Amino acid sequence: MEKIKKEIKEKLLILPDKPGVYLMKNINKKIIYVGKAKNLKNRIRSYFSGNHHDNKTNQLVGKINDLEYIITDTEEEALILESNLIKKYLPKYNIMLKDDKDYPYIKLTVNEDFPKIFYVRKLQKDGAKYFGPYTNIKAVRKTISLMEWIFPLRTCKLKLKEGENLNHNPCMNFQLGKCPAPCSGQISKKEYSKLVKNIFSFLKGHDKEVIDDLKQEMMACSDDMKYEKAAKIRDKIQQIEKITQRQSTFFSDQKDRDVVGLYTEGTRAAVTVLKIINGKLMNRETYGIQNVEDKQPQEIVGAFIKQYYSEKLDSLPYKIMLQIEPTDFNFINNWLSNIIIIPQRGENRRLLMIAKENAFNFIEEEKLKYLRKSTRTILPVQELKEKLNLKRLPRKMVCFDISTIQGVDTVSSMVFFENGKPKKKNYRHFIIQTVEGQDDFASMAESLTRYLSKIDDEIKADLIVIDGGKGQLSSAYSILKNSKIPNIEMISLAKRIEEVFKPNSIDSIILPKSSSALRLLIHIRDESHRFAITFHRKRRSNRILSSELDRIKGIGKEKKFLMLKQFGSVENIKKATIIDLAKVKGIGLKTAESIQKKLLENCEKK
């Protein structure tokens, strides 16, 4: 307790014996953990009691710099508030569902007089109805395409209200039978609402209700001798029955169930929810779970159930099937009206294994994505080690390049590649300070010396690449050798035939032009050249402009500084109008005209 901040100690003394939510903050006042408690005093104090925690919790406690809490009337209210705050703040140490923004949803704009149906990738609180998320975009598009023929709705972006501006010419979709053309008054809002109701029921999985309604409508049309319309309705019924026949029926009682399967592997976890509606498997939702290090499956399942169902309390299924009892099982089950079951055998257990297998496949796909991405860049690194017979895998590589014009404004650049990819935050510029005139050898020596003198684990390379031949390499290698920094190798790449030189080796190494290792070396060499030239041009441009401005009457250091601050760069000063220049403090229209005139004269001379 003696290591706990004084402010936290004081708060621990006055914690209430009530349910609520607590928020842990780091030194930057950022929320790093959100939790709920039946008794805030007991729960929060347990973090600082010195009791044994897992590694993740110990890390959390070490980062806590402040805390606050919100009292609620019941533990159930605390649970819902906890879930909402986790989604809002995305705390580093909470088990969380990954953002499902990439999954498609079907959107039905029921907040309009004449709704539309289409798919989106983002939920919004706009009064529309959303169905999903779906894991297969092709299936979503196919479903919407079927709806266009069975229950055609408009697809246009017109803002239509019953009785207002319904005098448009119907589009081609009306002729094709894919739109009832409410824009031209071909259908009333009441009739259109029937189509919307059927779509809503169908997407909710209540296809039997849809078929029963259509059969009644078909019989009514037949009784009224509207046989053509009755035949069209019959065709719709047959289409719906054809679709539903493909769906597997698991429960004859036609009740809704959620089957929740969990798979964990190391620091990865995923949960799949099989949505069984009216006894049929209608959809599959899979979520990656974050921050699961040192967490037991029971904790992961508990966190998922709380976050997933906190916004679905008004539409819970008949049963929720789980593989294992989650942490706080009795409380969670009571909160969800005792609908959770843990099947041990039979058909229900088989469904759980199907859900778990889907979660397993999600993790495998995630690993494959990572491997595909990393393999594209790590393979050239591996080839480089083998082809050049390097001692270590050159995961971290740096390359230097010198840029100058006749020894003026000499600069050098250092680019940094990690696992074959540029890591731009580790790029460095060096303004050459000890070399007079054009001396690339001495400039490279200064750059290397300055790099090696300030080297740390972040920018330390496994391999240094020098742009040049044997002479440049020999000079640079002597600097590296004298630094006595271990585990850094050096090579050079000569432009003429892209040959590679190694220290203390007479012969060069010629890599095939098709070699991915050679392409990597050329890439890092060209990147360092680009970076050096860009910096040199910028520095030279600033110097030239400063020199030009110095010759303009009334421009001193302060005004030059204010101009650069105002316009951000030399190029922007050149492009500025007289009026823009005159807005700078201390520069009037007359001085602005002199600046522009002088700069234009210099541009023409060039």
Lowest mean pLDDT among 122-131, 362-371, 519-528: 362-371
The reported pLDDT for the residue numbered 22 is: 95
| Same domain for 561 and 439 | no
Q: Identify the weakest region by mean pLDDT among 31-35, 361-365, 599-603.
A: 599-603
* Higher-confidence position of 571 and 318: 318
Assigned domain for 505 exists: yes
Burial (CB < 10 A; 0-12, 13-18, 19+), residue 73, is: exposed
The candidate with the shortest Cα–Cα distance to 150, out of 28, 251, 234, is 234
Q: Is residue 124 part of a domain?
A: yes
pLDDT at 105 over 50: yes
pLDDT of residue 262: 94
Q: 538 or 258, which is more confident?
A: 258
Same domain, yes or no, for 421 and 454?
Answer: yes
pLDDT in tens, 391-449: 888 989 999 988 766 556 677 888 999 988 899 889 988 887 777 767 778 888 888 99
- For residues 320 and 255, is the Cβ–Cβ distance under 8 A? no
- Examine the pLDDT at 573 and tell me if it is beyond 70: yes
User: pLDDT per residue over 265-289, tens digit each?
Assistant: 888 899 999 988 878 777 788 889 9
Handedness of CA 8, 11, 17, 23 (dihedral sign): negative
pLDDT tens digits, one per residue of 68-78: 999 999 998 99
- Higher local confidence (pLDDT), 546 or 560: 560
pLDDT tens digits, one per residue of 21-30: 999 999 889 9
Query: Are 562 and 506 part of one and the same domain?
Result: no
175-217 pLDDT per residue, tens: 887 888 888 888 888 888 888 888 888 777 777 777 888 788 8
Residue % of the chain over a pLDDT of 90? 23
Task: Decide if pLDDT at 502 tops 50.
Answer: yes
**Is 158 within the bounds of a domain?**
yes
| pLDDT value at residue 374 | 62
Higher pLDDT, 276 or 145: 276
Residue 355 — pLDDT band, cuts 50, 70, 90? very high
Q: Choose the final residue of a domain: 166, 189, 205.
A: 205
Q: Which DSSP letter does residue 5 get? A: -
- From 514, 537, 560, the end of a domain falls on 537
* Residue 373 pLDDT level (bands cut at 50, 70, 90): low
Mean pLDDT of the region 374-387: 81
Quick one: pLDDT at residue 320?
96
My answer on whether 454 and 530 are in the same domain is: yes
Establish whether the linkage from the previous residue to 133 is cis, with ω within 30° of 0: yes
Shared-domain flag, residues 403 and 343: no
Q: For the domain that residue 290 is a member of, what is the CATH number?
A: 3.30.420
Whether 318 contacts 339, CB under 8 Å: yes
* 242 within some domain: no
User: H or E stretch including 533?
Assistant: helix 516-550
- Which of 537, 562, 582 delimits the end of a domain? 537
CB 500 within 8 Å of CB 493: yes
Q: Using one digit for the tens of pLDDT, what is the confidence trace for 229-241? A: 788 878 878 777 7
Average pLDDT, the chain: 83
- Retrieve residue 583's tokens: 């807005």
405 and 329 in one domain? Answer: no
Residue span of the structural domain in which 325 resides:
257-359
Q: CA angle at residue 433 from 432 to 439, to 5 degrees?
A: 55
Over the range 465-482, which residues count as b (16 or more CB within 10 Å of their CB) and which as e?
Answer: bbbbbbebbbbbbebbee
Task: Give the span between the Cα atoms of 76 and 65, in whole angstroms.
Answer: 28
Do 411 and 532 fall into the same domain? yes
Q: What is the pLDDT of residue 1?
A: 40
Here the tokens at position 167 are 């005098």
Residues 344 and 263 occupy one common structural domain: yes
Give the lowest-confidence range in 234-243, 304-313, 342-351. Answer: 234-243
CATH number for 576: 1.10.150.20
Residue 516 and residue 413 in one domain? yes
Domain identity same for 355 and 421: no
Give 2's pLDDT tier (boundaries 50, 70, 90): very low
Give me the CATH number covering residue 46. 3.40.1440.10
pLDDT surpasses 70 at 471: yes
In the predicted model, what is the mean pLDDT of residues 516-540?
83
Asked, for residue 114, whether it belongs to a domain, the answer is yes
Q: Is residue 371 part of a domain?
A: no
pLDDT of 46-63, one tens digit each?
Answer: 888 866 567 778 888 888
> Rg for the chain (alpha carbons), in Å?
35
Q: Is 142 found in the same domain as 76?
A: no
- Both 433 and 345 in one domain: the answer is no
Cβ partners under 8 Å of residue 401, min gap 6 = 412, 413, 467, 525, 528, 529, 531, 532
Spatial neighbors of 505 by CB under 8 A, at least 6 apart, are none
Q: Which two tokens stand for residue 228?
A: 């053509």
* Bridge-based pairing state of the strands 489-494 and 499-501: antiparallel
The answer as to whether 370 is a domain residue is no
Q: Are 214 and 237 in contact (CB under 8 A)?
A: yes
Is residue 390 one of the residues assigned to a domain?
no
Per residue in 507-522, pLDDT tens?
Answer: 889 988 888 899 999 9
Mean pLDDT, range 525-530, rounded to an integer: 88
pLDDT above 60: residue 340: yes
User: pTM higher than 0.85, yes or no?
Assistant: no
Number of domains in the chain: 5
pLDDT, average across residues 555-562: 72
